[in-house]
A and B are shown apart, each in its own frame.
Chain A
Amino acid sequence: MPTRQGLTAPLRQTTVMRMNTSDHALAMAAAGGDSAAFAALLERSYDRLFGLCFRLTGARDQAEDLTQDICLSLPAKLPGFRGDAQFSTWLYRVAVNAAHDRRRRASSHAKAATGWGDWEVARQADIAQGAARQDWLSGAMAALPDDLRDTLALTLGDDLTHGEAAAVLGISEGTVSWRLSEVRKHLRAMAEKETTT
């Protein structure tokens, strides 16, 4: 349904005005074809997006690649942004889906990738070098199933509420809470194991 977009998102703005424009308004303008709005929006979102990609993949090089994939696919996807959700929610959904795709491709490529999934292999190599805290994180993340890890990737950074994470994943808020309690169980089990060994 044609909507009077001009009322909410003025089409032409100066750069100064852009600073104060919400992500949402920028996204609407960009979805409508405003390239300046698109530039401002991506510039603003890039680091958050990269952070999420890292939490989703667990490896810097993979995070860089994933971020690039997402950035380059955004122009095609943006017209699908309907404005009924927060832009960040929408963007994170794109990111999680891209991560899934990547994971699927990677698994069909005979485990070519490193990252959380192959951490166990890497740990064997790195074991001498310590980096204990990072190891603990990697170990914890690697031990989790994909869906728990995705949920965690969303909730650990940027202070997404359970509700927002649920919206990104397309699941109910209760499911997010349940998944996080599962994560806690995993972590406690891991902690117990470490203390006993």
Chain B
Amino acid sequence: MKDPLDDLKSAMDAATPPSDSTRRAENLARAQEIFARHQGSATPPRHSSDRPKGWAGIMTGVRQMFATLATPRALTATTALVACVVFVALPDTRALLLPSLAPQDATAAPPMRERAVAPYAVAPDSTAASEGSADMHFAPLPSRATAPPAQREALHSKAGARAVGAMTADAPVVQPEADTEAFANDDPNPVKITSETPVSTFSIDVDTASYGVVRSSILSGVLPPPEAVRVEEMINYFPYAYPAPDDGTAFRPTVSLMETPWNSDTRLLRIGLQGALPAIADRPPLNLVFLIDTSGSMQGADRLGLLKQSFRLMLGQLRPEDEVAIVTYAGSAGQVLDPTPASDRATIIAALDRLEAGGSTAGQAGLQQAYATAASMAQNGDVSRILLATDGDFNVGLADPKALERFIADKRDSGTYLSVLGFGRGNLDDATMQALAQSGNGQAAYIDTLAEAQKVLVDQLTGALFPIANDVKIQVEFNPATVAEYRLIGYETRALRREDFNNDKVDAGEIGAGHSVTALYEITPVGSPAVLSDPRRYGTPAPTGDSDEIGLLRLRSKAPGRDTSTLSEIVLPTALTAPDDEARFAAAIAGFGQVLRGSDYLGDWTLEDAIALAVSGTGDDPFGYRREAVNLMRLAQSLKN
């Protein structure tokens, strides 16, 4: 029988009139107008004239920007501007920045992750886009293009104005790299006036991830984004030869006061903590759960390949009574190696070798399984630790990262530690790594080379795996009679409230066996020409206190497994000490980090001075870490010029 639909179709075809050509032209023109208005400009997006086509051009633009504008100040100042400009004025980039607009069939694109973080859209130092300078060049933009009116310090605005002035109107329109790196950082600590806020409180930080990221950036020929630089992590990357405790305590503080390299009118207060190194032979058996991200993005020699090599290195450090299990997460979480004694190396290595990257990330299921495995392995006296190895894109089932942190913090109280090892760049979610390691009482390290794996997983394995003190907090009360102003260098992400110091419920950093931790304060003595703020006309209290003390150092820490902290106090004398190698090197790295962050406190001190200072403080350097840092500084200097 004839299909009645065919009749209907031919009738329909016959009945359908052609479109009215006048209205057609009118509609097309009006739609075009609306389209142009919708893009915020009546002209097509402007690209710099030499801009190559497509993605390669975008990358070149970014590289060029970093190469040409790579003074840290300019970088600091421009990242915020560029982020705003790109977001609003360049319609092409919306597909890059808004996940919902992205094509899904880009066959040549690398493995994709669901993450909407615009890499540099949130420059920590958006203060640099001072209103005046922003208006000058970007007045036509809608209001959201102007930087948020954050509190601006005079110095910042000046830097911003200078940097913007340096950008010509034809500055290449750059798009941020479409990687999804996110960094945890805060504005650099400002100078505090002792008479107003005499007390400074922070948690120690033994992470080293920031130095790894800085190194991998510089070695690939680009200065790191300022927000990737956490000065304290750079300083703490290096082992320092502080005297070890000899009285059975967990760690021993070493304090010294030296002239500040970048300002002869201020002093650099160094606080060094050296963790005890318990007799290694006595260490308790170790339960290790490798939680390995085998999602598609982990493909590659610098990721899964490096990870396998790294863990293989580490196996040599384990004892026969230690146990290893491997849990992977990709698509679905799975245990690929049941708890196996470390003596059975062949089985463990075979399991490692079988790992292949593929699928998407299901981090939380993996994490739950890893904790369950760790719990099943735990016996009395064992130390259980999960080593999470990931390229950082930990987009887990939990939509809320806070919930994930809470989950980990809960598990932390069960005695299982969590350390995070980052691999690969591109979607490194440094912020999440930091958060996870901090909640999990662990360490976050970034592994970019096998040498770094050697450092973290072999040379310093004991420290990385055996905590000797938990929740270590530092509080310094400065003496207003001797110290006019002070500034903590780094530790921005580790600041604690003053009252949190005595509150044992507030989490803080852990110190591992043999770890050393260094904190530096730049302090301005009373009467020094370097004092930045004028004395208050009204109500400045008369400074009191002993004139031979600059302050009091208080330390709090908990023994592993304990809920209550113990307090120790040390008086800080005003006497200057001759800086030793360790102090000089730490100061040099602090200077290097501040240069990379674009600090305003360095005056005309440059990387060249930092290099000279670091060379003078190289000391013994049995592993060559310090010499490597000097080379890195030289490279950074060349990149800046």
Contacts and interface: CB of A to CB of B under 8 A. Distances in A.
Interface stretch (B11-19, B250-258, B504-512, B604-612): B11-19
Interface string B78-115: 00000000000011101111111111111111101111
B interface majority secondary structure: helix
Contact of B5 (A4, A9, A184): A184
Contact of A133 (B14, B97, B114): B14
B19 A50 contact: yes
B109 A7 contact: yes
A55 B14 CA distance: 11
Interface stretch (A69-77, A90-98, A106-114, A122-130): A69-77
A163 interface: no
A2 B178 CA distance: 6
20 contacts: A2-B118, A4-B108, A5-B102, A6-B56, A7-B54, A7-B109, A32-B95, A35-B35, A42-B31, A43-B28, A71-B28, A74-B31, A75-B38, A76-B34, A79-B98, A80-B100, A134-B14, A156-B12, A187-B8, A191-B4
Given A7-B109, A33-B92, A82-B102, A64 B11 contact: no
A7 to B, nearest CB: 4
Interface in A144-188: 152, 155-157, 180, 183-184, 187-188
A33 B45 contact: yes
B106 A8 contact: yes
A35 B23 contact: no
Interface of A: 1-12, 28, 30-36, 38-39, 42-43, 46-47, 50-51, 54-55, 60, 63-64, 67-68, 71-72, 74-76, 78-84, 133-134, 136-137, 140, 152, 155-157, 180, 183-184, 187-188, 191
Contacts, number: 200
A184 B30 CA distance: 40
B8 A140 contact: yes
Contacts of B354: none
Contacts of A80: 100-101
Contact of B12 (A4, A31, A78, A157): A157
Interface of B: 3-5, 7-9, 11-20, 23-24, 27-28, 30-32, 34-39, 44-45, 47, 53-58, 90-92, 94-110, 112-116, 118, 178, 180
Given A5-B92, A35-B39, A38-B32, 20 more contacts: A1-B115, A2-B102, A4-B106, A4-B108, A5-B106, A28-B103, A31-B95, A51-B16, A54-B15, A63-B17, A67-B23, A71-B28, A75-B38, A76-B38, A79-B98, A82-B100, A140-B11, A152-B8, A156-B13, A188-B4
Given A38-B32, A72-B30, A76-B38, A1 B106 contact: no
Given A3-B178, A191-B4, A72 B31 contact: yes
Nearest to A54: B16
Given A8-B106, A33-B94, A64-B23, A38 B35 contact: yes
A84 B116 CA distance: 18
Contacts of B8: 137, 140, 152, 156, 183, 187
Contacts of A64: 19-20, 23
A42 B11 CA distance: 27
A8 B108 contact: yes
A8 B15 CA distance: 39
